[in-house]
């Protein structure tokens, strides 16, 4: 794998940082990749736009910042507006289709996947708190950068009290990612 950059944006309280940490832990501890995770959020934190970023490589990561993400996962309109700049040509944009509308021009060849992650978490899992796990599953299906088995193992280790809920969210996210039809920019 050559350097691969992932940006995750949403509002404070959606588990944006946790999502990036679990992805990074899975990639490094279970799948043997080199990765670095960074995060930033506004002073309002809960409710304001926040982002986490992950750089993944087979070699040691020599620069931890994401400049041109290969993938941008967006879970709020504010995060979309704040952090869309820099998405690569032919990149992947995964949005919570119920919360984010595409505005403005995107780079050429961007594939857009609309995943109703919040709705899936609320209606099928039974808690909105699982939205980020639904999105992790969708990311795994759409990109293949992280294995479903690796995520399952990390979820079991990290959240033993909530393992059933989170594994259900992961499975529903994997399915949503498999069945999502991309549109082009």
pLDDT in tens, 134-184: 999 999 999 999 999 999 999 999 988 999 999 999 999 999 999 999 998
Supply the pLDDT for residue 89: 95
Distance of CA 102 to the CA centre of its chain: 17
Q: What is the average pLDDT score of the chain?
A: 92
Nearest to 114 by CA among 99, 124, 131, 126: 99
Q: pLDDT band for position 126 (50/70/90)? A: very high
- % helix / strand / coil in the chain, to the nearest 5? 40, 25, 35
Supply the pLDDT for residue 45: 52
pLDDT at 40 over 70: yes
* Residues listed for the chain: 185
What mean pLDDT do residues 46-54 have? 82
Supply the pLDDT for residue 47: 62
pLDDT at 76 over 90: yes
% of the chain with per-residue pLDDT over 70? 96
What mean pLDDT do residues 92-118 have? 94
Which residues, listed in sequence order, are joined to residue 9 by a DSSP beta bridge? Answer: 51, 74
For residue 126, give the 3-state DSSP assignment: coil
Both tokens of 178, joined, read: 């498999």
What mean pLDDT do residues 116-139 have? 96
Dihedrals phi, psi of 20, to nearest 5 degrees: -65, -40
Supply the pLDDT for residue 132: 95
Domain boundary assignment for the chain: 4-184
Both tokens of 31, joined, read: 């799948």
Cα–Cα distance for residue pair 183/135, rounded to 1 Å:
18
Cα–Cα distance for residue pair 32/81, rounded to 1 Å:
34
Supply the pLDDT for residue 46: 58
Could you tell me the fold of the domain covering 4-184?
A: Pyruvate-ferredoxin Oxidoreductase; domain 3 (3.40.920)
């Amino acid at each position: 794998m050559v350097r691969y950059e992932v940006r995750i944006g949403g509002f404070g309280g959606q588990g944006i940082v946790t999502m990036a940490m679990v992805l990074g832990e899975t990639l490094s501890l279970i799948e043997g990749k080199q990765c670095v995770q960074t995060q930033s959020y506004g002073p309002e934190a809960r409710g304001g736009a926040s982002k986490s970023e992950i750089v993944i490589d087979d070699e040691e990561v020599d620069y931890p910042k994401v400049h041109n993400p290969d993938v941008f996962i967006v879970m709020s309109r504010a995060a979309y507006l704040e952090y869309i700049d820099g998405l690569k040509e032919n990149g992947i944009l995964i949005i919570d289709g119920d919360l984010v509308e595409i505005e403005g021009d995107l780079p050429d060849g961007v594939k857009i996947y609309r995943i109703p992650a919040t709705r899936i978490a609320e209606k099928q899992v039974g808690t909105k708190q699982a939205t980020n796990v639904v999105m992790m599953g969708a990311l795994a299906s759409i990109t293949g950068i992280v294995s479903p088995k690796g995520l399952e193992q990390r979820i079991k280790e990290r959240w033993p009290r909530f393992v059933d809920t989170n594994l259900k969210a992961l499975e529903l996210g994997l399915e949503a990612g498999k069945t999502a039809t991309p549109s082009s920019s």
